[in-house]
A and B are shown apart, each in its own frame.
Chain A
Amino acid sequence: MKTFKTRWQECAGSARSVRAPAPEMPPGFAARVIARANLAAEDSLIGLWLAHARRALILATGIMVICAVVDFASRPAPAAIRPPIEAAVFEVITRL
């Protein structure tokens, strides 16, 4: 009794007997490939620069944001926003 694998391989064997057309390079194929390869080499240098420039910009922005946050957090609150009345009331209540 034949297994699936055997029958499948028989089918593939029959498929193999149908010859595919011989590979023939289309006219101008090599010239197009070489032209694309030369363009790709130029693009890769520009791409390299852009990739690094983008990362440097993101990093610089992040550092700037962190510095701004740290700076803001470390400043004492201005006198105008300190609640003197509320603080006094709180002190009176706690002493009672």
Chain B
Amino acid sequence: MSEEPFDLSGCVERTRQGDPDAARRLVEHLYPQVLQIVRSHLPHRTAEADLAQDVFVKILTRLDRYQPRADVPFTHWVSRLAVRTCLDALRSERRRPELRWSDLSEDQVRWLDYVVAEDHPAPTDAATGARELVHLLLALLTPEDRLVLTWLDLEQRSVREISAATGWSVPLVKVRAFRARRRLRKWAEEFRE
């Protein structure tokens, strides 16, 4: 027997009317979407579950502000709210983490050498090292730049998707991506010297 499709708009409406069961189902339905955003933009010293909770509390307390529009479906509204909450949390981090050579593993060093220098071969069997290095380098960027490159380069979202999820214009997303990669290159080269 197949499950009934989830009635998102109905659940939103019942949650607005104060139905706790509907609120619970709404949280369960949105959890994967919110957690993906939170995981991509988690500040250094913040627990994933804490930030996800903050996002959901905002969703529930601001639900009456959501006006259904054709160009802003509910999931986009949720994305924008989650992104803003994560950016606020990243901005409130007093200092961004420092990257120290001694902290890098052998695989991370091999990937850093490849990314920065043209004459190093690409590592073929160090995917975990690549993932760790990517997250270390992204953590050095401003929250907005980190968000753009995480979604564009790591999660392969399109510029239009990022524009819809953040509310930023398409040209702004492109400019941010260009500047972020330029900064990343500069830091990576300086760090490697």
Report B51-97 residues with CB < 8 Å from chain A CB: 52-53, 56-57, 60-61
For A5, list chain B residues within 8 Å (CB).
Answer: 181
- Interface, chain A (partner B; CB < 8 A): 1-2, 4-5, 7-12, 14-18, 20, 22-23, 25-26, 29-34, 36-37, 40-41, 44
Given contacts A23-B35, A29-B27, contact A37 B131 (CB under 8 A): no
For A17, list chain B residues within 8 Å (CB).
Answer: 127
For B114, list chain A residues within 8 Å (CB).
Answer: 7, 10-11
Name A33's contact: one of B57, B111, B123, B127 (CB within 8 Å).
Answer: B57
Whole-angstrom distance between the Cβ of A44 and the nearest chain B Cβ: 7
For B153, list chain A residues within 8 Å (CB).
Answer: 8-9, 12
For A10, list chain B residues within 8 Å (CB).
Answer: 114, 122
Name B131's contact: one of A2, A9, A15 (CB within 8 Å).
Answer: A15
For A9, A22, A37, A44, which residue has the most chain B Cβ atoms within 10 angstroms? A37
Answer whether residue B109 sits at the interface, using C-beta atoms and an 8 A cutoff. Answer: no
B105-135 interface bits toward A, Cβ cutoff 8 Å, 1 = contact, 0 = none: 0000001001110100011001110110111
Q: Are A23 and B32 in contact (CB under 8 A)?
A: yes
- Which 9 A/B pairs are nearest by Cβ-Cβ distance? A15-B131, A14-B130, A37-B60, A23-B35, A30-B27, A12-B153, A33-B56, A15-B134, A15-B130
Inter-chain residue pair count (beta carbon < 8 A)? 94
Answer whether residue B154 sits at the interface, using C-beta atoms and an 8 A cutoff. Answer: yes
Question: Which residue of chain A lies nearest to B20 when distances are taken between CB atoms in the complex?
Answer: A34
- Interface, chain B (partner A; CB < 8 A): 20, 23-24, 27-28, 31-32, 35-36, 39, 49, 52-53, 56-57, 60-61, 111, 114-116, 118, 122-123, 126-128, 130-131, 133-135, 153-156, 181, 184-185
Given contacts A2-B118, A8-B153, contact A18 B127 (CB under 8 A): yes
Q: Are B127 and A14 in contact (CB under 8 A)?
A: yes
Q: Are B128 and A11 in contact (CB under 8 A)?
A: no
Q: Bound state CA distance, A9 and B114, in angstroms? A: 11
For A44, list chain B residues within 8 Å (CB).
Answer: 61
Q: Bound state CA distance, A11 and B153, in angstroms? A: 9
Q: Are B49 and A26 in contact (CB under 8 A)?
A: yes
For A11, list chain B residues within 8 Å (CB).
Answer: 111, 114-115, 130, 133-134
Q: Are B130 and A34 in contact (CB under 8 A)?
A: no
Q: Are A25 and B130 in contact (CB under 8 A)?
A: no
Q: Are A37 and B24 in contact (CB under 8 A)?
A: no
Whole-angstrom distance between the Cβ of B62 and the nearest chain A Cβ: 10
Q: Bound state CA distance, A4 and B184, in angstroms? A: 10
For B49, list chain A residues within 8 Å (CB).
Answer: 26, 29
